[in-house]
Structure 1
Amino acid sequence: MSGTLLTHKRLGSLYAFIQARTSSTRLPRKVLKDLPEGSGNALLDHIHFRISKVLPQSRIVYVVPEEDFELEAFLSSRNRRVFSGPLEDVRARYILAASKFGAEAVLRLTGDNPFYDVKHLGLLLLSFLQGSSQLSYFKGLPLGMGGEVFRTEALLWEPQDGLEERHREHVSLHIKEHPEKFRITSIPALLAEEDSDRIPRFRLTVDTPEDFRTMEAILEGPAKSIGNTKPEIPDWGVGDLLKWEADFPKLFRENASVPQIKFSLPRVNRKSKGKIALLVAPAKEFGSGHEARSHILYSLLPDRDWEPTLISKFPKDGEYQGLIIDYRDISIPIEYKKTKLLLLDHFGAERKIHPHFDLLPHPLNRGDFDWSNILLPPSLTSSALNPTQEEMEEYEFFCYAGTIEKRQSNDLDRILLRQSPSGKILRVGGTPPAAENARIEHVDRLSTNDYLTALRGSKRFFGYFGQSLFEALYLGIPSATFGISPVHETLSSMLEEDAGIPYYKNIGSAKFSVGTRAPGAGGYDNILEYIDFLFYQK
């Protein structure tokens, strides 16, 4: 971008800095108040619960004022990392903390916001790791649910005429006021267009007693319906919020008129390449794989100057410059002439008509598939979010079982115990182990951070043909597959023949190998370059 101050380089280290203090003027000690009252969970506990789903504990730092001893004592009692710096100069506090921890980039969060949207924060980090921006954020989220991430080099920069008082309190304001110097990217929230007009109704930050009462009412009301492994801190996001507002509109009115400080910022002048729609198979019907990779792709497109939109039905011809379809082998009911199409992992009849990009090996691309096109999340391929060695728990086996039923789960557990009579075994998915197999550690699902930490610490991987298998192979973990359906059995047999990944067929002991092929780190770069080539007309 013309006029950009800094050159792009891959990040080596990213931290979340949560700025907090007990000396708030409108609601003193709010960060330590139980939310809801008497729950034993402070406002900061809600924040930490959410952030720890996307980052290791070692990369979450509370940047607090010097001599805020009560806050430091509270955080120390929770075994959380703390850095203290100037009370009035928050920017200096960030700079000193970044220097101490070696942070090349910072996810900036505040102690006012108990309900950060975990999904959007995770995607924000992934897009920033993969992209070339110097500051990024999601636009269109309710106040208090989104954060921002920026490079430390941008934080350190100062304009020629110096900084003003507002820049010391509002850490990234000097970056936003100079879009001619920095590559600033706003990513549209993953919301339906019809929901965008409802977002201004929500205020999910805590500055006043009215704000606090609203947060309590949410937790003591509709949020209680959310199932969770830790029920006292329910895990919900903006999608749940929109449903609750439709059912309980009065819930969000008490604090709607609380004033919020806003700054007039110059327009970010970047030429758009055009609009791209993504039609993605719903996770409830087709599993989470399509949705997970397409949401990452969606969040990466704005960094390449595209305007993405998620859609649920085929658009009119010409409504978008490009249409990306990640929906298995769905039939295309419209003849598109103005809108260009890109089919992902599509092996239906339309494959012969429209451009396609294969993301996984398949019998119909056998011999032609490029393993470098497999999409791996940037959190896996980058070291910037890695946990410390002390945070990693070693497992003899990491088994990914998906949604298999009780009989298959029990059979799988017997195989795992035969393979490892004494080692630690983690099984993700399936049904809980039978009593005789209780030595196996079982979870229904893991957060992104917990999943990657467990996978990195595992000696062997056992799972069916799918994303987790290729992530294990990227990490160089000896792996083997098992079948959960006729389709998966075919894919496992193909992978054994073509890449040397053993396929266990319920006979004898399973063998494990890293095989002869492995994915690389450039899958998202490859597909983004192809999208530019296919859709962009200069």
Structure 2
Amino acid sequence: MFHAIIQARMGSKRLPGKSLKNYKKISPLEILCKRLKKIKKVSKIIVATTKEKKDDKIVKFCKTIKINYFRGSSANVLDRYYGAAKKFKSKEIIRLTADNPFIDKKTLIKMINLKKKFDYIANTYPLPATYPDGSDIEIFNFETLKETHKNARLPSEKEHVTFYMWQSKKFKKKKIDLGKNYSKIRYTIDTLEDYKLFKFIVDSFDKKKIFSISMQDIIKLLSHNKKQTLYQKKLNRTFGWKPAFEKDKIFKRKTNFK
């Protein structure tokens, strides 16, 4: 059975509180959870948050909408995932983030159906990707997570969970391709400008439909409203990784890492 584990916290540096930042009485995290509830092959939804006081709000939210939750490390997200998967006895794990509320149902089901042939499957990693930034899905089994948790050493591998997986030769991996390159389309939520785009997407659809719109619906919307995405010219898909890579450099100097 497939368990969706969603990483979410209130302490984002670029956009604090974004997971539960309500617009029209709905937050990105709630949209994602309600969209996942519509997918029968997802047997359990778990929100993996931190032990920090500010994340009590996320726990309260989970209890309100009757979603499982786990509290773990703030910095070591890999350890948080491992702890959540161990607690809930997850065998197959779908890794998602609250930054990406509009996960595509069709893509997720396709990946679930392909997963049995692989230890790790993704639609955006390793880069380059053909899928939009905001459609990211990764699926891996518990043994792959356990091996990664045991062997990952770099700060970037612990913060970004799957870096070790998709760079290691130990695992049988698959990255699916969209056929057409939509990688320049972005609807992830990482900055205030991204959140404004999130509001534009919500405004563009009927309130009930927001829980079922597809990736193609959003691609079509943004392709016809390019003014809404002009701010993205200064962004790239990996700019959020830079702090972790700087930590890697310090770690390597201190430990003579090879």
- For the criterion TM > 0.5, the same-fold answer is yes
* Contact 2:121 2:174 (8 Å CA) reproduced: yes
Instruction: Note the 1:25-424 alignment, pairs <5 A.
Output: 25-34=13-22, 37=23, 39-55=24-40, 59-67=44-52, 68-128=55-115, 131-139=116-124, 140-158=130-148, 163-178=153-168, 180-189=169-178, 193=179, 196-197=180-181, 199-221=182-204, 223-224=205-206, 230-231=208-209, 233-261=210-238
Separation in structure 2 between the aligned mates of residue 259 and residue 138 of structure 1, nearest angstrom: 17
Match of 1:287 in 2: none
Which amino acid letter does the alignment assign opposite residue 88 of structure 1?
A
Identical-residue share of aligned pairs (%): 27
Point out where structure 1 has 5 or more consecutive residues left out of the alignment: 1-12, 264-538
The 1:19/1:159 distance shift into structure 2, 3 A limit, reads closer
**What's the CA shift for 1:26?**
0.6
Aligned-pair RMSD on alpha carbons? 2.2
User: How much has 1:55 moved relative to structure 2?
Assistant: 4.2
> TM-score, normalising length from structure 2?
0.82
Contact 1:121 1:146 in 2 (8 A): no
Kindly indicate which of the two structures has a greater share of residues assigned to helix: 2
CA 1:55–1:61 in structure 2 vs 1: closer, same or farther (change >3 Å)?
farther
Specify whether residues 160 and 153 from structure 1 end up closer, same or farther in structure 2 by C-alpha distance, changes over 3 A only: closer
Corresponding residue for residue 519 of structure 1? none
Q: Distance in 2 between matches of 1:79 and 1:161?
A: 34
The 2-side partners of 1:57 and 1:122 are apart by 9
TM-aligned CA distance change 1:52 to 1:257, over 3 Å: farther
**Distance in 1 of aligned mates of 2:175 and 2:102:** 20
The amino acid across from 2:72 in the alignment is G
Question: 2:244 maps to which residue?
Answer: none
| 1:250 shift after superposition | 1.7
Tell me, in whole angstroms, the C-alpha distance in 1 between the residues paired with 2:56 and 2:40: 26
TM-score (norm 1): 0.41
Give runs of aligned pairs for residues 466-477 of structure 1, distance below 5 A.
none
Cα distance, 1:88 vs structure 2? 1.2
Corresponding residue of 2:247: none
Does the 8 Å CA contact 1:61/1:82 hold for their aligned counterparts? yes
Written as runs of structure 1 = structure 2, the 5 A alignment for 1:432-511 is none
Structure 2 Cα separation of the partners of residues 125 and 204 of structure 1 = 23
Q: Decide whether the 8 Å contact of 1:201 with 1:256 is kept in 2.
A: no
Q: 1:58 to 1:73 in 2, by over 3 A?
A: farther
Residue 71 of structure 1 and its aligned partner are, at CA, apart by 1.4
In structure 2, what is the equivalent of residue 426 of structure 1? none
Distance 1:257 1:53, change over 3 A: farther
Q: CA deviation at 1:200?
A: 2.7
1:162, CA displacement in angstroms? 5.3
CA 1:243–1:249 in structure 2 vs 1: closer, same or farther (change >3 Å)?
Answer: same
2:63 corresponds to which letter in structure 1?
A: S
Q: Which amino acid aligns with 1:74?
A: F
- Tell me: higher relative CO, structure 1 or 2? Use CA pairs within 8 A at least 6 residues apart: 2
Quick check: 1:57–1:80 contact (8 Å CA) kept in 2?
Answer: no
Distance in 2 between the 1:134 and 1:216 partners?
Answer: 36
